[in-house]
Amino acid sequence: MTGLHWFFSPLCALLLAPLFPGVINRTKAFVAGRRGPPLLQPCRDVAKALRRGAVYGDTTTALVRLGPVINLGTLVAALLLLPFASVPAVIAFSGDLIVLVGLLGLGRFATVLAALDTGSSFEGMGASREVHFAALAEPALLLALATLTRVTGATSLSAIYEGVGVGTWAHALPTLALVAMTFLVLELVENSRIPVDDPTTHLELTMIHEVMVLDHTGPDLAIIQYGAALKLWILGSLFVGLAVPMHSGDPWLTGAAALAGMAGLAIVVGIVESAMARYRLVHVPQFIVGAATLAAVGFIVLLV
């Protein structure tokens, strides 16, 4: 187990991440009174897209093909930095949280340029919204991580999440609760979920992420869909590591608690999507800046 246990976190993510959107969709179906698609439907979608051929726009260059591939690379690389279920990350070093933010930025830049490569005004629209909201979400993420750094005195993701335990919650309850709220909002924003974006409609005028990938087909689309599941997992595990601060000596128990936490988060996202409507686009920045403010308030609470 010792050799393998370092790879526990990325393996969990690579294998289980596609289930995350499956659980969200089942929850939404349950709330709406439908039976809903099977849990493994996202896997089937990826497999189906992989079998298909591809259609590329006349205007496009190699960038439209490179975008999804680079995005997937950044997400898998980010998994190496991510601790999960009290198991430290494969690669942990002081300042790795900045690299995580940088990797997410690179993946987004590649996706945006791939969208602009088509020259379609719909994809330009999606790209414009994506960079707008991301410009506000990035400081929010850095701020939330900064607050956790101040709480735990650690500058590496693995050390930070190792340092967050039940005892930490006891003495820094308001701060941790506020940061957890920020992470929850960022999970919705970064993954283009309701109330920021509607992942189910394909009505271009209302959308961000789905409209950016409108002209991607076949294996490219499969890579994008799998990448989207990984990104849900990555930001989700930032939240779950904080909300389920379990460090029992038993790895099975800790692992089960973390996985239950991820499932719980997926259900929460599903309930949010069922209960809320999408915000008007002009109100989304307020939502993101509000989330950043929560983390900032958490930081100020620590100083007093």
Partner 1 sequence: MPGGGLHLEIDALSAFFLLPVFGLSLLTGIYGRSYLKGREPGPAAGSWFHLNMLTAAMALVIVARDGLLFLVAWEIMALSPFFLVIFDDRREAVRQAAWIYLAATHLGTAFLLVLFVLLGSLAGTSDFAGYAAVLHGQPALSSTIFLLALVGFGAKAGIVPAHVWLPEAHPAAPSHASALMSGAMIKVGIYGLVRILSLMEAPTAWWGWALIAAGASSGVLGVLYALAQHDLKRLLAYHSVENIGIILIGIGIGVLGLAYGMTVLAVLGFAAGLLHVVNHSIFKGLLFLGAGAVQHATHTVEIEELGGLLKRMPWTGTTFLIGAAAIVGLPPLNGFVSEFLLVYSGYLGLIEPNTTIAAAGLVSIVSMGLISGLAAACFAKAFGVVFLGSPRSHEAAEAHEAAAPMLVSMTALAFCCVAIGAAAPWVVRSLAGVVGAVTHLPLPQVHTALAPVTASLTATIAVFAVLAGVALLAWVVRARRLAVAGVRRAPVWGCGFQRPTARMQYTASSFAQPLVTQFHLIIRNREVMAPPTGYFPTSSSYASDSGDPFLGLLFAPSFRWFGRLMRRMNVVQHGHIHVYVLYVAATLIALLVWGSLSP
- Smallest gap, in angstroms, from Cβ of residue 170 to partner 1? 20
From residue 95 to residue 124, the character string flagging contacts with partner 1 as x (rule: CB under 8 A) and all else as - is: xxxxx-xxx-xx-xx--xx--xxxxxxxxx
Assess 80 for contact with partner 1 (CB under 8 A): yes
Residue 15 within binding range of partner 1, rule CB under 8 A: no
Choice from 29, 31, 63, 297 touching partner 1 (CB under 8 A): 63
Least separation in angstroms between residue 253's CB and partner 1 is 30
Cα dihedral 117/211/223/269 (nearest 10): 150
With contacts defined by CB under 8 A, name the span among 15-23, 137-145, 183-191, 250-258 that binds partner 1: 137-145
The reply to whether 59 sits near partner 1 by the rule CB under 8 A is yes
Using alpha carbons, list the distances in angstroms from residue 257 to 146, 152, 270: 26, 22, 20
Q: Which of 81/244 has CB closer to partner 1?
A: 81
Among 17, 24, 27, 129, binds partner 1 (CB under 8 A): 129
48 Cβ contact partners less than 8 Å away, ≥ 6 residues apart: 222
Q: Give, as one character, the DSSP assignment of residue 95.
A: T
d(CA 144, CA 147): 5
- Cβ–Cβ under 8 Å, residues 128 and 98: no
Of 34 and 202, which has the nearer Cβ to partner 1?
202
| Residue nearer to partner 1 on the CB measure, 41 or 217 | 217
Nearer of residues 68 and 255 to partner 1, judged by Cβ? 68
Q: Which is nearer to partner 1, 138 or 198 (CB)?
A: 138
* Strand-pair partners of 87: 84
- Interaction between residue 53 and partner 1 (CB under 8 A): yes
Between 147 and 254, CB nearer to partner 1: 147
Task: Determine, following the binding rule CB under 8 A, whether residue 65 of this chain makes contact with partner 1.
Answer: yes
Q: Which of residues 171-190 bind partner 1 (CB under 8 A)?
A: none
Sign of CA dihedral 123, 126, 132, 133: negative
Q: Which is nearer to partner 1, 115 or 257 (CB)?
A: 115
Tokens of 158: 């693995």
| 45 binding partner 1? (CB under 8 A) | no
Among candidate residues 85, 112, 280, the one with its CA nearest the CA of residue 209: 112
Within 10 angstroms of residue 60's Cβ, the number of other Cβ atoms is: 15
The two structure tokens encoding residue 246: 């379990």
Which of 290, 301, 75 shows the shortest CA–CA distance to 185?
A: 290
User: Residue 90 CB, nearest distance to partner 1 (Å)?
Assistant: 9
Whether the upstream peptide bond of residue 195 has omega within 30° of 0, thus cis, is yes
Q: How many residues bind partner 1 (CB under 8 A)?
A: 84
**Binding of partner 1 at residue 55 (CB under 8 A)?**
yes
Whether the Cβ atoms of residue 241 and residue 164 lie closer than 8 Å to each other = yes
Among 30, 31, 43, 60, binds partner 1 (CB under 8 A): 60
Residues in region 140-159 near partner 1 by CB under 8 A: 140-143, 146, 149-150, 153-155
- What's the rounded Cα separation, in Å, for the pair 209 and 112? 9
